[in-house]
Structure 1
Amino acid sequence: MSSSRLHTPTPNAGPSKRSPLPKPKDKAWVEPAALPDDSDVDIASIGGTAPDYVKQLACNTFYAYGVGDPDAFGYAVGRATRFIDISVDRRMERAGRLEATTVAELTVTRQMLNGAGMLHGGCVTYLIDNCCSTPLVALGIYQGTNGVGVTQGMNVLFHAPAPVGSQLRIISTSISMGGRVMTSRCEIVDKASGRVVASAFLNKMQPQAAKL
């Protein structure tokens, strides 16, 4: 989508259009089910095994909180990011573990470059912070818990440059979902060459209400 286009969300789908969600065990500081459906998200175009309501709510959270309003930092980059797959793998469910994976794509534009004409490290970190959070959000929605949280820390490795016009694929997978701390991993790959541009581990935590 054009970066000049304003984000105009539409109201949430009613209960008859969305599978009922279990209530999170604890009151969430950000509740994905309370967010408006993003008008630019076409759920039919997103592959993967996650139910449609999980795909929709995960995208709503990404664009409403990860990207924000048009005057927010990195807005054009965030809005240019499109999800093509959101999946929940249930093969480990008997062992008490589920795994979620999201795949997003975008093309490197001039506004994402550094002075050397390559994808800026700060832009890479912005993409990882937002995209690597989405499998945790999706898994939380699927399980009826909250996977939004706030970033506690990330470990980013830069492997190869990405010039303007590069088509990137961002593959993010959940690792663990604890009561307060959650972890995921991410790779940014050049679609044409298969070369890894960057990789990272991300830790998120649930914020606690301040005690007066």
Structure 2
Amino acid sequence: MDSRERIDASTIPGNAPQHLKQSLLDLISAEAKLNRARGTRGFEPEIASRIAEEPERLEGRVVGEITVHDDMLNGRGTIHGACSALLIDNCSSMPIALLNLATTGKGDLGVSQSLHILYHAPAVTNDKLRIVSTSITLGSRVLSSRCEIWNVTKHRLVASGVHTKMVASVPNTSSKL
């Protein structure tokens, strides 16, 4: 972003408050001004000014909620990692199926290739969790989504993951023994 022109934050879409959008723009602008004063330009201003979200991108997004119960806990009394993995595995498949239905009319959950999970904070009995899953890509072969488990009770991220799937191939029904 070229700091010589001030961008009005109200023109930027999204649900962040306008004062935060403007503060971020001002911060970036001040950094660019400082770099010009130092005589350093680099390639960043040229590239950063071209960053934009893909306007025609279709996205599947599914949000669900669940309360932590005793059957979800490990021996320490916090949500078991395998339980978090199960939630991420199941919930991250939903936006892929949703987007598939919206674009092709067919619901395909695909089959898992990889599931990368980061555990951030524990959750305990009676904590309310919000699970937010969003599609990343929906190709002819590879499907991917991201998923975050938020602790609504304690206002923190419990776990996050990226799930890569592939379109299932049709099994060969004839045996060649």
- Measured against the shorter chain, the TM-score band is 0.5 to 0.7
- Give the Cα separation in 1 of the matches to 2:108 and 2:155: 30
Gaps of 5+ in 2: 1-53
Q: What amino acid maps onto 2:126 in structure 1? A: G
Are the aligned partners of 1:139 and 1:147 in contact in 2 as well (CA < 8 Å)? no
Aligned residue in 2 for 1:43: none
Aligned residue in 2 for 1:170: 131
- Give the Cα separation in 2 of the matches to 1:114 and 1:138: 32
Alignment of 1:137-176 (within 5 A): 137-144=97-104, 145-176=106-137
Gaps of 5+ in 1: 1-90
User: How big is the shift at 1:146?
Assistant: 4.2
More helix by share: 2
Aligned residue in 2 for 1:107: 67
User: How big is the shift at 1:194?
Assistant: 1.8
* C-alpha RMSD of the superposition: 1.4
**160, 165, 172: which one aligns with 1:204:** 165
Q: What amino acid maps onto 1:150 in structure 2? A: V
Aligned residue in 2 for 1:25: none
Aligned residue in 1 for 2:19: none
User: How big is the shift at 1:190?
Assistant: 0.5
- Identity across the alignment (%): 45
- Give the Cα separation in 2 of the matches to 1:135 and 1:92: 19
Structure with max Cα Rg: 2
Aligned residue in 2 for 1:98: 58
Are the aligned partners of 2:147 and 2:162 in contact in 1 as well (CA < 8 Å)? yes
Q: What amino acid maps onto 1:151 in structure 2? A: S
Aligned residue in 2 for 1:51: none
**TM-score w.r.t. structure 1 length?**
0.54
**TM-score w.r.t. structure 2 length?**
0.64
- Give the Cα separation in 1 of the matches to 2:139 and 2:155: 33
User: How big is the shift at 1:210?
Assistant: 2.8
Aligned residue in 2 for 1:180: 141
- Give the Cα separation in 2 of the matches to 1:117 and 1:191: 18
Q: What are the Cα deviations for residues 119-144 of structure 1, in whole angstroms up to 9, with x where unaligned?
A: 00010000000001111111011112
